[in-house]
Amino acid sequence: MSVVNYGTREITCKIVYYGPGRSGKTTNLQHIYSRLPEERKGKMVSLATETDRTLFFDFLPLDLGTISGFATRFQLYTVPGQVYYAATRKLVLQGVDGVVFVADSQSRQLAENIESLQDLHANLADEGLDPRTIPLVMQYNKRDLPAGEISAIEELDGTLNFRGVPYFAGSAVSGGGVFETLRSISSMVLSRLSAPATKA
Amino acid sequence: MAADSNKGAEDDGGEFAAFMADISEEIALRVESLEPPPKPKPEARKPTPVARDAGLILEWENVVDRMIEDIR
């Protein structure tokens, strides 16, 4: 997809928040949305079920205004985490520039994290993107839960982060780590402005 | 590459402002260091080949005149 269009003087980046169901992807976007100044607040589109879980996807357009003469837009998406929404996840991943993997720190969710990560890799490969090189940031969310319920960061990182990408502890409900994560993935995506896209 | 999560309590607008500052710096750095894609050079005009029936073309006005005359 992206990124620089010299003709129209635009920079557009698509960032997808990926991860198992209920890991906090939508909460990340909601926190970002809540911190946007009024003049930058577009519409956050959220398609949720009655039980508040993402049915299709969330979409948050971030219009950052003109930077260095370029109209800059970030498009933030989440995917539905539940296993049975595989087709939707594939669709949302189309044209992605960077991925935030939001892992659930709860010890009992480790298998779901691994499954979701494998699903991400498979879908990226299907999209012709190399899972080993696409900009990726890990967020270990729900660090606010009692210590007895969550895995240590080192343990999570050792299991999930085989690429050794930047990782952040998160507590999306209170906003902890949300902007740090966004900043990191944005920086990684932008650093590829001059790099050719890598295909699998 | 560690992460400090719970300092998320930068003040409300400050979080976005700090993000914007970082991103602006990054973009400024990138777009300044990037050469815009080269514009395609205008193709040198090739001389119009003189066709075998070029004479007819040169006499076009006469042909038209003749056609009008015929119609009359």
pLDDT tens over chain A, length 200 residues: 667 888 888 999 999 999 999 999 999 999 999 999 888 877 888 877 666 676 777 899 998 889 988 899 999 999 988 877 888 899 999 999 999 999 999 999 999 999 999 999 999 999 999 999 999 999 999 999 999 999 999 999 999 999 999 999 999 999 999 999 999 999 999 988 765 445 55
Q: What is the ipTM of this complex?
A: 0.81
CA distance A136 to A139: 10
Nearest residue of A to residue B5 by CA position? A177
Q: Which residues of A touch B (CB under 8 A)?
A: 4, 6, 11, 32, 34-37, 40, 64, 67-70, 72, 140, 143-144, 153, 164-171, 174-180, 182-183, 186-187, 190-191, 193-194
3-state secondary structure of A8: coil
CA distance B59 to A56: 69
Locate the DSSP E strands across A83-197.
98-104, 136-141, 167-169
A74: which strand partners?
A13, A62
Cβ separation of B13 and A35 shorter than 8 Å?
Answer: yes
CA distance B49 to B57: 12
Collect all residues with Cβ–Cβ distance below 8 Å to B41 and sequence separation of at least 6: none
| Model-wide pTM > 0.90 | no
Calculate how close chain B gets to A87, using CA atoms only, in Å.
Answer: 32
